[in-house]
């Protein structure tokens, strides 16, 4: 007996606008003026596919890419043979030959990492490229500031010059936060001890709000993908992702009935529901659920924003379409979960999270379509 045919095209679908990502990078590159503009493509290109995203960014002019792990760098290297790829999580013990062979540049975060990399350099009689990361207040990765003199001595003893000095901002999404000024001052004090070495501090938010933080390279992430980088301001970036899911059933429900798991939402009126085929197994987070006390996410259908009702479950959620009146959708009709009418931040805010989580959760059971600036997704 032959294997059953795989049925496709009946579920959710994800469309990534590579042209929008390119335009976002170009806008940030214009803002960054004299500084080089890199691109953070870690976490599978913020959930949108690292290889197609990075190839599009390279075509737009990006030459410096930032990933989190060496595996992410290895995935990019065949597609971008000439790109400069930095590994933000640093040098994993014993992995120096891998980094060297694949031309991955570790962002060195500790004295043992630096020592191992310098040994590799001496063994090859070559100044292998790497960046040095100093912790100026994040308390995550990076050399402690009181280790600066040790780092300086170690590299001077072997005549090593890093490609870049880096740090990372904790509060750049809040431009008026005092910590930004403190970190800038501390970072300036560090780079003054490494004259002639390029410096990088600005993420998306700092690129958009603080020219004095640009230094020689900025490294935007979330803004490339259309997400909000700066709190309390209108987001100027172009949406880059559309997530659609089909209606699978229309239900007529009565006042006082409950909807979904846990009976967490009791209908305050006679309500028409549409059941949508998308759930947390598809990366649509459960925190977007609603109760009678707390509004959840919304979707766009037939020109109207319709609220989620009850809990998001593994494979589906319900939306209230009562206000559509007699303009009733039919099973199979697509609703916009993310797109031009519902941004990643529109879904993130009521869920108590950020656009980063919405994007990086997009690992669901749906085909991905990539379109360029001139292409449109198939109907």
Please give the positions annotated as active site: 42, 261
- C-alpha torsion sign, points 109, 112, 114, 117: negative
3-state secondary structure of 251: strand
* Residue 306 bridge partners (DSSP): 299
Query: Token digits for 109?
Result: 């975060």
Query: Token digits for 339?
Result: 């797109």
In the chain, the N- to C-terminal Cα span, in Å, equals: 35
Instruction: Using only the alpha carbons of the chain, give its radius of gyration.
Output: 24
Q: Comparing C-alpha atoms, which of 89, 95, 93, 67 is closest to residue 80?
A: 67
Q: Comparing C-alpha atoms, which of 9, 5, 7 is closest to residue 378?
A: 9
Specify whether the CB–CB gap between 103 and 85 falls below 8 A.
Answer: yes
* Residue 108 bridge partners (DSSP): 132
Q: 236-256 burial string, b = 16+ CB within 10 Å, else e?
A: ebbbbbbbbbbbbeeeebeee
Specify whether the CB–CB gap between 108 and 90 falls below 8 A.
Answer: yes
Question: Distance between CA atoms of 219 and 229, rounded to whole angstroms?
Answer: 13
* Residue 217 bridge partners (DSSP): 36, 200
């Amino acid at each position: 007996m032959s294997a059953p045919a795989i049925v496709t095209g009946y579920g959710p679908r994800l469309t990534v606008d590579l042209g929008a990502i390119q335009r976002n990078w170009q806008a940030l590159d214009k803002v960054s003026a004299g500084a080089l503009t890199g691109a953070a493509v870690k976490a599978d290109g913020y959930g949108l596919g690292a290889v197609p995203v990075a190839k599009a960014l390279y075509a737009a002019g990006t030459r410096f890419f930032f990933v989190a792990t060496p595996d992410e760098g290895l995935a990019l290297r065949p597609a971008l043979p000439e790109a400069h790829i930095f590994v933000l999580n640093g040098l994993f013990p014993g992995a120096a030959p891998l980094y060297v062979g694949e031309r991955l540049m570790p962002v060195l975060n500790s004295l043992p990492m630096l020592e191992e990399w310098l040994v590799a350099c001496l063994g090859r009689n070559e100044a292998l490229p790497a960046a040095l990361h100093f912790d100026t207040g994040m308390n995550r990765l990076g050399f402690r500031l009181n280790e600066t003199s040790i780092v300086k001595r170690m590299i001077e003893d072997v005549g090593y010059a890093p490609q870049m000095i880096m740090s990372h901002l904790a509060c750049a999404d809040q431009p008026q936060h005092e910590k930004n000024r403190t970190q800038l001052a501390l970072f300036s004090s560090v780079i003054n001890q490494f004259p002639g070495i390029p410096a990088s501090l600005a993420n998306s938010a700092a690129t958009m709000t603080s020219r004095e933080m640009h230094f020689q390279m900025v490294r935007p992430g979330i803004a490339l993908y259309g997400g909000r980088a700066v709190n309390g301001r209108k987001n100027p970036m172009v949406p880059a992702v559309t997530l659609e899911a089909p209606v699978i059933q229309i239900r007529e429900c009565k006042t006082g009935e409950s909807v979904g798991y846990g009976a967490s939402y009791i209908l305050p009126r006679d309500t028409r529901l549409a059941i949508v085929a998308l759930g947390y197994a598809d990366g649509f987070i459960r925190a977007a659920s609603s109760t009678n006390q707390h509004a959840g996410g919304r979707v766009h259908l037939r020109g109207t924003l319709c609220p989620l009702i009850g809990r998001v479950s593994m494979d589906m959620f319900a939306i209230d379409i009562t206000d559509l009146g007699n303009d009733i959708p039919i099973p199979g009709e697509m609703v916009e979960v993310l797109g031009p009418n519902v941004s990643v931040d529109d879904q993130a805010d009521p869920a108590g999270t950020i656009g980063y989580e919405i994007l990086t959760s997009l690992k669901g059971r749906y085909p991905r379509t990539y379109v360029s600036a001139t292409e449109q997704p198939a109907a």
